[in-house]
Amino acid sequence: MNKAHKFASSSRYKNKAAINKNIFQLSIITSALLFSGYTLAYSETGQLGDKNSWESQEYKNDWGLAAMNASSAYALGYHGQGAKIGVMDSGALLSHQELSGSRFHAVKAKGEYGSTGMRYPQELGGHYEKGQAFDVTGDWIKGVNDTHGTHVTGTVGANRDGEGMHGVAWGSDVYVGNTGATDSNNYGPYQDYQYFYTGWKAMVDAGAQVINNSWGTNPRIIDAGKTVGPDGGNTTVHLPVDTTQQTEYEYFYFKKIYGDNPSFVDAAYDAVKGTNVVQVFTTGNRDFKNPYYRPLYPYFNPQAEKHWIAVAGLKQTADKTGYEIEGMFNEAGNAKWWTVVAPSRYIYSSVVDADGNPGWDTFSGTSMAAPHVTGAMGVLMSRYQSMNALQVRDVMFTTANRYNPDGSLYKGWTSADGVPDERYGWGTPDLEKGMYGPGQFLGKFEYQLDAVPLDVWTNDISQAALDQRETEDLAWLADYKANGIDAGGDYNLGTDFVVNDGNPDPTSHIVDKEDAKKWRQEYYQKRAEAIQAKIDAGLYDGALVKAGEGTLVMTGDNTYRGGTTVEQGSLYGFTESFGTADVNVNGGTISVLNRYNDKFTQKGQLVSNESHKANININDKGTYLVTAGHDVNVGNMTLNQGAKLDVAADNIGQLKDVYLNDKSIQGTVNADNLADNRAKTKMLATNANNAAADDYALFQKDVSVKDNTITGTLSKKADASFASFANNENGRSIANSLESNAKGQLFDATLPMSERDLRNTYQSLGSDMYLNANNASVVNVLGLTRTVKDQAIGVGHGRYANLENSNARIWMTGVGQWGNLDYGYSNMDTDFYAALVGAEIDVAEHTKAGLFFGAGSSKYKAHEYGKIDSNDLHVGAYGVSNIKNVAAINYGVTHTNQDRDAKRTLWVGQESGYNSTSYDAKITQFFVEGAYTQLNNDRYSVEPYAGFNWLHVTSDNLHEQVGNMQFTTKTDNQDIQVGTVGLRGGYPFSAGNVNLTLKGDVSASHLFGDTRPEAMLFLSDTGEAKIRGGKLDNLFGVGLGVDAQLNKSTTFGISYQGQYNSDVSSSGVNATLKINF
């Protein structure tokens, strides 16, 4: 790292569903998924689809973002979300406003050093001892770390918060490790394997997919006279790596110092070996043609190449209109096949001073370039969620940019199009072109497309780099086979300089020639075996294997030669998009298109150029899908035994035309030569007799083969309508709305559905969960009211505590009710709890009045339809009047307010929307009850009674969403009347000195009025449907309990009560304490 300006301080601070093969429907589904989780902590000015809106001052403060076209990715909704990025460096100040929040994680590394050495041999400092313990996290440590790691971490992922700057992948999770040192940590053969393996492995274990390594400085040599590099940089005291022999010496030097033990660079590989994690390393800040050993490691250890990225430096031209390589820094050289070049001069980012104060500052170096690349990987990983980091690395390489904004090549670029350059490597990561798929396959690309339902690649996919790599590799291999290790020429043994490694012996660095020969032989053999393995596996021809249940669309003019294989899911593309070798469909589906409207990456309408034709083999379990409205041409097509044919629509407009206007549409596939090797009974499109789960519910499909042409036809099913697939009244109401309105988002979404998806949509949208929760609340409130009335009127002598001159009482009741309601279409379990406190007073000789209030909760569990949790408040007033010991009248009013939290997932086909909704429901009740008391005597009490309740039920509107579709439920108010007749009695007895009463109650209630709840469901922009819940029916009630007189002023009772009918089973227990005073 080079510091460019003075430090500036500041105190500011996937239920998994089968994926429908209708390609236009996938675009609808994916448009909702694309920006899911898109939330920001401040008022974001960026607008999806408008890249200029993302180029705020915060964005512009790091010119590197514009150099990589980062705003194009942001405008498509990709900013690193879901990606996990590691940063190994000199810690980071995670209290800095740019690095604070839940996205940032300090990774802990704990263990013991496995060797003795110095972190800073050029300064004779940073000693560590074998067996010494270490225990560090990624948090910046005062007196140990410097500002370097804080700056680098900011470039990777600093918050986009409207201040300072923001990182490239500002939506990613960042995992920070600690080198235990400053940036002067020397990445020569001086670091401890165990320390760094532990740190890197901890990051891998934490989930990091790519790890940035900007830390450290290169080995030094003793000043023996000034030397300059090819671009005029001062190289006097730096280990030279201009030639292959010079880089080979550094490799030998590592082998000499570590002996038979692995080096710390081996630790970098060992930590990621067998995983899909990528290590990113800087080339170095010296004017040499090759990188140092750390980024060049795969040259000597080719098995590590797929895990490696080397990063050289880019700078702005003097007039800031273009870009060029920073010649003062190490270039790609022999690492060109895994090198990119990134912004490295005058990079503004977060910093911390020696006292821990946060701020921002501008630094330069390849240390600043690497985090731009690592951040770019994070953005690309958020774009390609079904790719692993090794594959994303290939996408970044093959879509890298080599052009200035005016269209001219970077200064000094020498390689052909699509081929890495000796100085620049692949070029600069391009987060615009990188949105559109790979630019090349660097071998066999096995794409397991499962994480998202749709991906679209519009880039042309060539194999220019593989062809050049093959030429170079075969030439190297031929030279090795002809000349052995002598092909490498003379050896550089370190005799013409002295390494400044802290060793007083000026010859300790010199390599024995025999050792050099042995070590050259070792890595030559590794390289030869790696090249031969590629030859044997055919990996010098790019190939695609499509796996996973998702759908991939390719529209480029693709010339890779290794073939295309479909194993699962769907592959769509132009006839020229499948490379130049055969396409083999062993499973899943393929379809050739002549046009494609790309809404996924917003390329718009794309049209096939038919530069060459696809040769396609449909094998057993494979399907060719004719896309209606597309007349396409292919080369050779073979339908082997077990091959299937099918047809589907291209867009919703086609299906609307067919359904609303009773038309038919066709698509054709015209082959130069078509061989149908299937059984004599040809397999046509699925028909009504063996309908597949993902076929259209509303449309008939027919496919025919004649000569060299396959024709697919879609028409409307004769007797099918939306209502044909509704299983109940609510489903039919929704279906009728769809049929009558025939427009809007929901209509578009349901028209292409399969029978299963259409039925499930009706079942989900037509759920009466909210309405039946109101039914359950009515039953619960009736039970609660029975508890209040029972304690007020009393039955049997045990209910009364005699106290002279007492005319007032307080009481407390706890109620628990549990039930199951099978009203309507959603079976529901309910739990109801309440605690009430009341007071009553005798207002006349034969009349008393009381008040009560209480709180509790209700839980409504509708199983797959969702659940509702409610916090309840209850208040009420009541009175009891005795009329000449002949009758007793009980009357009152209650009010219950429920603060409900509802959670449910709505499904529209295969698209789901999880909704968490808060709303209120209220039940107001008036009741009156009269009992005949003439039958009561000292031995028992028997009271026939009759009562009437009037309940008024209201609830708020509910707003829910599936994708971009809004659904609003407006529930009608209900007025419910209840007439009840019953018989209750009590039998007093004593147990010791305690007076007790056994009590019982049986009743029958008739409910009338608005006993069936209704709501209007507004179906996005597709009209509305009447939704009805289950009907509240007559109830049979039973109660049984015992009351005890504890003393002259206190009674306590416990009782059971139940309410039943064919749809309701509700049981409750309550306990009441009453105190006279």
Out of 9-23, 552-566, 732-746, 786-800, pick the least confident: 9-23
Residue 1046 confidence (pLDDT): 84
Nearest to 442 by CA among 464, 410, 475: 464
List Cα–Cα distances, 263 to 30, 60, 185, 765, 915, in angstroms. Answer: 46, 41, 15, 62, 53
Per-residue pLDDT, averaged over 184-200, amounts to: 98
Per-residue pLDDT, averaged over 416-426, amounts to: 98
Asked if residue 10 has pLDDT above 80, the reply is no
Q: Do 1044 and 1031 form a contact (C-beta atoms < 8 A)?
A: no
The pTM of the full predicted model, rounded to 2 decimals, is 0.84
Nearest to 431 by CA among 350, 376, 481, 496: 376
Nearest to 479 by CA among 520, 539, 528: 528
Q: Say whether both 347 and 487 belong to one domain.
A: no
Question: What angle, 0 to 180 degrees and rounded to 10, lies between the N-to-C axes of helices 244-258 and 513-537?
Answer: 110
Residue 46 lies in a domain: no
**Residue 619, class by beta-carbon neighbours within 10 Å (0-12 exposed, 13-18 middle, 19+ buried)?**
middle
Per-residue pLDDT, averaged over 818-840, amounts to: 85
| 35-61 residue pLDDT tens | 444 444 578 889 999 999 999 999 999
Residue that finishes a domain, picked among 480, 506, 537: 537
In the chain, how many domains are there?
Answer: 4
Where b means 16+ CB within 10 Å and e means fewer, 651-663 reads bbebbbebbeeee
Query: Given its phi and psi angles, is residue 265 left (phi above 0), alpha (psi -120 to 50 degrees) or beta?
Result: alpha
Percent of the chain beyond pLDDT 90? Answer: 84
Long-range contacts of 677-680 (CB under 8 A, 24+ apart): 677/638, 677/639, 677/640, 677/641, 678/639, 678/640, 678/641, 678/642, 678/643, 679/641
The 8-class DSSP code of residue 483 comes to H
Nearest to 1053 by CA among 1045, 1062, 1061: 1045
Q: Say whether both 566 and 614 belong to one domain.
A: yes
Out of 29-33, 118-122, 306-310, 1043-1047, pick the least confident: 29-33
Residue 755 lies in a domain: no
Residue 40 lies in a domain: no
Separation of alpha carbons 316 and 319, rounded Å? 8
- Chain centre to alpha carbon of residue 326: 38
Residue 805 confidence (pLDDT): 58
The 8-class DSSP code of residue 90 comes to B
Q: What is the dihedral of CA 738, 739, 745, 751, to 10 degrees?
A: 110
Q: Say whether both 532 and 577 belong to one domain.
A: no
Q: Say whether both 631 and 525 belong to one domain.
A: no
Q: What is the mean pLDDT of the chain?
A: 92
| 625-665 residue pLDDT tens | 999 999 999 999 999 999 999 999 999 999 999 999 999 99
Q: H or E segment at 1014? A: strand 1014-1019
Separation of alpha carbons 100 and 358, rounded Å? 12
Q: Say whether both 247 and 392 belong to one domain.
A: yes
Helix, coil or strand: residue 127: strand
DSSP string, 590-629: EEEESEEEE-SS--EEEE---SS---EEE-TTEEEEEETT
Between 822 and 590, the more confident residue is 590
Query: Given its phi and psi angles, is residue 201 left (phi above 0), alpha (psi -120 to 50 degrees) or beta?
Result: alpha
Residue that finishes a domain, picked among 431, 457, 484: 431
Q: Say whether both 714 and 788 belong to one domain.
A: no
Q: Do 367 and 1 form a contact (C-beta atoms < 8 A)?
A: yes
DSSP string, 23-70: HHHHHHHHHHHHTTT---SS----BTTBGGGG--HHHHTSHHHHHTTH
Rg (CA), the chain: 39
Token reading at 403? 């052009």
In one letter, which amino acid is 733? Answer: S
Residue 10 lies in a domain: no
Q: Do 336 and 420 form a contact (C-beta atoms < 8 A)?
A: yes
Pairing between β-strand 1064-1076 and β-strand 1024-1028 as defined by DSSP bridges: unpaired
Q: Say whether both 511 and 577 belong to one domain.
A: no
Residue that finishes a domain, picked among 513, 537, 561: 537
Asked if residue 449 has pLDDT above 80, the reply is yes
Separation of alpha carbons 592 and 669, rounded Å? 8
Separation of alpha carbons 73 and 1021, rounded Å? 31
Q: Say whether both 703 and 788 belong to one domain.
A: no
Q: Do 740 and 721 form a contact (C-beta atoms < 8 A)?
A: no
Separation of alpha carbons 435 and 754, rounded Å? 32
Asked if residue 25 has pLDDT above 90, the reply is no
Residue 688 lies in a domain: yes
Residue 680 confidence (pLDDT): 64
Separation of alpha carbons 409 and 898, rounded Å? 69
Q: Say whether both 991 and 1007 belong to one domain.
A: yes
| 60-119 residue pLDDT tens | 999 999 999 999 999 999 999 999 999 999 999 999 999 999 999 999 999 999 999 999
| 280-314 residue pLDDT tens | 999 999 999 999 999 999 999 999 999 999 999 99
With a CB cutoff of 8 Å and minimum separation 6, the contacts of 482 are: none
Helix, coil or strand: residue 515: helix
CATH of the domain at 957: 2.40.128.130
Model confidence band, residue 540 (pLDDT cutoffs 50, 70, 90): very high
Q: In what order do the strands lie in the sheet with 958-962?
A: 958-962, 965-971, 1014-1019, 1024-1028
Asked if residue 508 has pLDDT above 80, the reply is yes
CA dihedral sign, ordered 748, 751, 755, 758: positive
Highest mean pLDDT among 415-429, 783-797, 863-877: 415-429
| 706-760 residue pLDDT tens | 999 999 999 999 989 999 999 999 999 999 999 999 999 999 999 999 999 999 9
Asked if residue 999 has pLDDT above 60, the reply is yes
Token reading at 479? 């030279």
Between 143 and 1043, the more confident residue is 143
Q: Do 772 and 828 form a contact (C-beta atoms < 8 A)?
A: yes
Residue 22 confidence (pLDDT): 59
Model confidence band, residue 991 (pLDDT cutoffs 50, 70, 90): confident
Residue 756 confidence (pLDDT): 95
Reduce the secondary structure of 538-588 to three states and give it as a string: CCCCCEEEEECCCEEEECCCCCCCCCEEECCCEEEEECCCCCCCCEEECCE
Residue 490 confidence (pLDDT): 97
Q: Do 263 and 254 form a contact (C-beta atoms < 8 A)?
A: yes
Phi, psi of 563 (to 5 degrees): 95, 165
Model confidence band, residue 617 (pLDDT cutoffs 50, 70, 90): very high
Separation of alpha carbons 670 and 693, rounded Å? 29
Q: Say whether both 569 and 700 belong to one domain.
A: yes
Residue 271 lies in a domain: yes
Q: H or E segment at 732? A: helix 729-741
Q: H or E segment at 814? A: strand 808-821
Q: Do 352 and 147 form a contact (C-beta atoms < 8 A)?
A: yes
Separation of alpha carbons 465 and 584, rounded Å? 25
Helix, coil or strand: residue 276: coil
DSSP string, 768-804: -HHHHHHHHHHHHHHHHHHHHHHHHH--SGGG----T
Asked if residue 553 has pLDDT above 70, the reply is yes
Token reading at 300? 């000597």
CATH of the domain at 332: 3.40.50.200
Q: H or E segment at 516? A: helix 513-537
Residue 148 lies in a domain: yes
Residue 24 lies in a domain: no
Per-residue pLDDT, averaged over 503-520, amounts to: 97
Domain enclosing residue 207, as ranges = 69-431
Q: Do 284 and 1 form a contact (C-beta atoms < 8 A)?
A: no
| 269-287 residue pLDDT tens | 999 999 999 999 999 999 9
The 8-class DSSP code of residue 434 comes to G
Q: Say whether both 138 and 245 belong to one domain.
A: yes
Q: Say whether both 662 and 717 belong to one domain.
A: yes
Model confidence band, residue 27 (pLDDT cutoffs 50, 70, 90): low
Residue 938 confidence (pLDDT): 84
Residue 828 confidence (pLDDT): 84
